Amino acid sequence: MTPQLDEYVEAEIQRLLAETGSVAEQGITIARREHLIVLGGEVESAQRRDEICRQINQHFPDVEIACDIGIVRAQAPTEVEEIS
Amino acid sequence: MIRIAAVGDVHVDKDVVGRYRPALEQLPGVADALLIAGDLTRHGTVEEARCMAQEFGDLGVPVVVVLGNHDHQSDQQDAVTGVLQDAGLVVLEGEGTVLELNGHTLGIAGAKGFGGGFAGACASKFGEREMKNFVGTTEAIAERLGAALRGLECDALVALTHYAPVPETLTGEPLEIYPFLGSYLLGQAIDSAPTALALHGHAHHGSERGRTPGGVPVRNVAHPVIKQAYNVYQLLSDEVDAGLVSI
């Protein structure tokens, strides 16, 4: 049974992601859909993305997650911007 | 011509070591210095600072950084600073440095900065002690940043902060958290000197470009905003670099 995904759950998840030592992410967005939450934003590694989902699953086992979190690209630039 | 590479919010820990390095190895060919706008680590531990020093040390160009809020999380910011300095990085907090590059001098004044918000919706030093401390903290940091900027003699002057000095580069963030992302006091400090460019991070969902009320170009170089290892900005142009496309 999917629990009601209200603002309190959203706020608790947001604080969990910032305050949990193994996560420490403040840039993850949470969008509530009817039966699930959609996670957005970008992190620095796949391990960090997976840990976010693991933490939410552990603390909110009845909440269904769709994870759209990306890994920030780290390639060299090809352009220079002239500042004037 | 001086070319500055810049990035912020790299949040280095052992799982990130090696990710930036291939792009960083190219730095001496494309930029004269690298500036990093805070949030160098995830939790501000000494171990993470060592990872940061390993990833961003020995690059062949000077590296100048400020700390961010993440680098204060473990209350070890002094030890973190020490590790970075031992690796040759210049760490600025309310102070400045001058680099000699390509026959020009580049002055960089840096500070972490803090919050408080912007004109029309900013916090005031009024009421509870906690509130006065919050705004007073930003005031003190901004005063030191302004003094550092005004005290530098150089051909081109750059301000480096973690928190944002203008709201334009926060576009994309929820309006409700703007007071936690920056302060107009930082912009005022930047406008008190002949600053050529202001760089900041912190706002992962923000926008890249803005201007201070005084007209100084502002760039949000948070890694999730620029979506590459670093951006390159050209100051004191006398020619366009052949290795990169000018935009």
- How confident is the model over A18-63, as pLDDT tens digits? 998 889 999 999 999 988 999 999 999 999 999 999 999 999 999 9
Q: Classify residue A77: in a domain, yes or no.
A: no
CATH number of the domain encompassing residue A66: 3.30.1340.30
Contact B187, B163 (CB under 8 A): no
Contact A14, A42 (CB under 8 A): no
Q: Classify residue A24: in a domain, yes or no.
A: yes
Contact B245 A78 (CB under 8 A): yes
What residues of chain B have any CB closer than 8 angstroms to a CB in chain A? 3, 10-12, 15-16, 19-20, 22-23, 26, 30, 42-43, 70, 73, 196-197, 204-205, 217, 223-224, 227-235, 237, 240-241, 244-247
Contact A81 B247 (CB under 8 A): yes
ipTM of the complex: 0.91
Q: Classify residue A81: in a domain, yes or no.
A: no
> How big is the CA angle at B151 (ends B150 and B154), to the nearest 5 degrees?
90
HSE, side-chain direction, 13 A CA sphere, residue B4: 32
Percent of chain B beyond pLDDT 90?
Answer: 95
In the DSSP assignment, the letter for residue B179 is: G
Range of the domain at A66: 7-71
In the DSSP assignment, the letter for residue B170 is: G
Q: What is the pLDDT of residue B18?
A: 97
Contact A80 B247 (CB under 8 A): yes
Query: What is each CA distance from B129 to B75, B124, B125, B176, in whole angstroms?
Result: 22, 12, 9, 22
Q: Is A47 on the interface with B (CB under 8 A)?
A: yes
The tokens describing B205, both together, are 């969902």
Distance between B121 CA and the closest CA of chain A, angstroms:
22
pLDDT grade, residue B122 (50/70/90)? Answer: very high
Distance between A75 CA and the closest CA of chain B, angstroms:
5
- Overall number of domains in chain A: 1
Tell me the per-residue pLDDT of B22-36, one tens digit each, with 9 for 90 and over. 999 999 999 999 999
Contact B246 A47 (CB under 8 A): no
In the DSSP assignment, the letter for residue B219 is: E
Give the architecture-level CATH label for domain B2-235: 4-Layer Sandwich (3.60)
Q: How far apart are CA B7 and CA A74, in angstroms?
A: 11
Find all residues with CB under 8 Å of B163, minimum gap 6, and list them. B112, B113, B114, B115, B181, B182, B183, B186, B200, B202
Please tell me which residue of chain A has the smallest CA distance to B228: A74
Contact B37, B66 (CB under 8 A): yes
pLDDT grade, residue B241 (50/70/90)? Answer: low
Tell me the per-residue pLDDT of B66-110, one tens digit each, with 9 for 90 and over. 999 999 999 999 999 999 999 999 999 999 999 999 899 999 999
Q: Classify residue A57: in a domain, yes or no.
A: yes
What B82-86 contacts at long range (C-beta under 8 Å, 24+ apart), as own/partner pairs, is: B83/B46, B83/B49, B83/B50, B83/B52, B83/B53, B84/B40, B84/B49, B84/B52, B84/B53, B86/B53
Q: Parse chain B into domains and list their residue ranges.
A: 2-235
Nearest neighbour of B73 by CB, restricted to A24, A41, A73 = A24
